[in-house]
A and B are shown apart, each in its own frame.
Chain A
């Protein structure tokens, strides 16, 4: 399994398009970060890419084969979504952790039982506990275990670290990298805790209002992003002709986020401060609220 493609995928609920004309290519052996604000369409996108939800238009293909109702393709795709055992879903709330994991193992021919057991211990889960009795963090741990033990070539994790404490989050990134370096699987991870995950992502996919805003190597993106600040007139002169976002003014001061295009450089010799940005800064500049 080499590549997965979204081909002009659109998802509509009534007249409302939550995913619009989405083209995306995922290559084998990369960790992608999927970031976007609440309601941007991350979960909908991942559910279509795992055939849990049909696209209104367009198709999702794995090595050229449409994945919809395609059992052969779906064996290679795992979407470990957030478990929410609510009161009206008694069967799920009453299920024990070990039974849930056993059920999950039936879907994935390459299921790694040893890894699942090791992770249950590491995350300090009690296999006998019922899902309805687990905290949010413990439910996240179960989702992570399914994702990693599935051994699926293309594995999607939706907000895997939500509710996990910082020690567990760090452990998750380490065990993810270990699994990744041992197997060369492809992972897509959505998260709101951008900063601590940024170093794990080889590429970042930014989604805004259902559309693909940017897909780029994380390091390269950060190397062309700067915050320029100083006296309004000087900043204006310094960034003339460059692509600017997230302008902020206070009194005589102004600061602006610059994304350099190919071959562009920041001009030298101006009395301005030029600072590098983190992925979180770039995301807020691109997707933040307008003043």
Chain B
């Protein structure tokens, strides 16, 4: 949770995404406690209600769970859960925008596919764990 907030997007969404990213990067581990809404409020100088809204999204999605009287914890399988949702959002968030932009500047599907292939050949193969 060391990123900074931007004005581009709702703060509570950014809070949720930052926690997710921390889980993907192994900064927060499964079954570990995450910062409380009050801690997040102080750290980011945001209203605790906003921080709570971000946390609640992750609870609804099963990424976090509440231990009564102790706090919020990273659920077992949270990493897979986040990856799964991010993969399905990939089409909405990236492919659709990519094709829209391609259409508006007169690139057809084949040209876009050729570009992706070209990029894959020149780029260093990215290491995935």
- Interface residues, chain A, CB within 8 Å of chain B? 31, 170, 173-174, 177-178, 180-181, 195, 199-202, 218-219, 222-223, 271, 276, 278
Contacts and interface: CB of A to CB of B under 8 A. Distances in A.
Q: Say whether chain B's binding surface is mostly helix, strand, loop, or mixed.
A: helix
B2 interface: no
Contacts of A222: 10
B50 A177 contact: no
17 contacts: A31-B47, A170-B45, A173-B45, A174-B45, A177-B45, A178-B42, A199-B45, A199-B50, A200-B45, A202-B49, A218-B50, A219-B12, A219-B50, A219-B53, A223-B10, A276-B10, A278-B7
Interface string B40-53: 01101111111001
A200 B8 contact: no
A200 B47 contact: yes
Nearest to A200: B47
Interface in B60-84: none
A181 B45 CA distance: 12
Contacts of B42: 174, 177-178, 181
Nearest to A171: B45
B11 interface: yes
B38 A181 contact: yes
Q: Say whether chain A's binding surface is mostly helix, strand, loop, or mixed.
A: helix
A188 to B, nearest CB: 14
Contacts, number: 46
A174 B41 CA distance: 8
Output the residue of A195, A201, A219, A276 with the most chain B CB within 10 A: A219
A199 B11 contact: yes
A231 to B, nearest CB: 13
B99 interface: no
Nearest to B39: A181
A63 to B, nearest CB: 23
B45 A276 contact: no
Interface string B7-37: 1111110000000000000000000000000
A219 B56 CA distance: 15
* A-B residue pairs, 6 tightest by C-beta: A181-B38, A199-B46, A173-B45, A202-B47, A202-B49, A278-B7
A118 to B, nearest CB: 15
A201 B9 CA distance: 16
A174 to B, nearest CB: 6
A174 B40 CA distance: 11
Contacts of B50: 199, 202, 218-219
Contacts of A199: 5, 11, 44-47, 50
A271 B100 CA distance: 10
Contact of A276 (B9, B44, B47, B104): B9
Contact of B41 (A170, A181, A223, A278): A181
A197 B41 CA distance: 13
A178 B38 CA distance: 8
B96 to A, nearest CB: 11
A223 B13 CA distance: 11
Contacts of A170: 45
B53 to A, nearest CB: 7
Contacts of A200: 45-47
